[in-house]
Amino acid sequence: MSAAAPAAAPTAGLRVLERFRRHRLAMFGAVTIATLTLACFLGPFLLPFDDTYIDIMQRFAAPFGGAHILGTDELGRDMLARILMGGRVSLLVGFVAMAIGMAVGILVGAVAGYYGGLVGTALMRFVDAVLCFPAIFLLLALAALVEPGLTSITLLIAATAWMDVARIVEGQIRSLRERDFAVAAEVLGATDRYIILRELVPNAVAPIVVAATLNVARAILLESYVSFLGYGIQPPVPSWGNMLNNAQIYLTSAPWLAILPGIAITLAVTSFNFLGDGLRDALDPRMDGR
């Protein structure tokens, strides 16, 4: 597919799509994420079992053995329903935490990069300071102080996820603002807000999108950690992390309780990482013509 004749030059967007489609792992990631998301948000409506329905006669049913396709847990709850409902929670936390982290990171990074000087230095040193804490300990320390729940865990994860975006954006904006097109906007009388939002940030969109995808993966993983350690999403609401927590004691007798949410986490996280890699390559015009 090198039919990019100069006469009918495809638009930049089409070329990005073309490069992305050639990236097999990224396509796999995109398809998996789409499937997972659809399954998690639509699947539970189609299943005969609710995720909190207790089928006491069918405790520890093995997968592929009866009415419960993926088996049941120690209380006789349907594993498939719980995986899908847990997926809702995990994906939701992942996406929302990413969105909040992005917004904060872009804001801080853009302001620091554009104004520089004292403001920029202060902001970026603060970012460095926050970055010094290992995210997981910061998260656990904070989680011990606030009441665990969907909202609080999302905010906590977002609070540990905005710094790297801020650094990426700061670097991008700092170099972009010296470029002549930023000066051109200034000669035209544009306000700072216009220059940052309309001229500069769109040029930094590629690294931002890549960081965003990788951040979703990270947020899902963090949510699993914290829930696994018991500080995150509280039972009976399922999440992939707290399902793993439950599964620990039955690891030898009912291994599927650990394996199934494990697979779900692995699949989601690797898919997002592949997607991020693929986007990184696709958004880089130098990858054209390979």
Binding residues vs another protein (CB under 8 A): 9, 11-12, 179-181, 183-190, 194, 199, 202-203, 205
- Closest distance to another protein from the beta carbon of 107 (Å): 20
DSSP 60-122: TPPTTSSSSTT-B-TT--BHHHHHHHHHHHHHHHHHHHHHHHHHHHHHHHHHHHHH-HHHHHH
Using N-to-C axis directions, what is the helix angle for 12-21 and 256-282, rounded to 10°? Answer: 140
Determine the distance from the C-alpha atom of residue 54 to the mean position of all C-alpha atoms in its chain, rounded to a whole number: 32
- Closest distance to another protein from the beta carbon of 179 (Å): 6
Specify the residue, 4 or 25, whose C-beta has the smaller distance to another protein: 4
Specify the residue, 11 or 253, whose C-beta has the smaller distance to another protein: 11
Specify the residue, 135 or 190, whose C-beta has the smaller distance to another protein: 190
Specify the residue, 28 or 115, whose C-beta has the smaller distance to another protein: 115
- Closest distance to another protein from the beta carbon of 199 (Å): 6
Specify the residue, 144 or 187, whose C-beta has the smaller distance to another protein: 187
CA-nearest of 94, 101, 131, 96 to 224 is 94
- Closest distance to another protein from the beta carbon of 171 (Å): 18
Phi, psi of 72 (to 5 degrees): -130, 165
The C-alpha angle 120, 124, 130, rounded to 5 degrees, equals 150
If DSSP codes are grouped into helix, strand and coil, which group holds residue 207?
helix
- Closest distance to another protein from the beta carbon of 194 (Å): 6
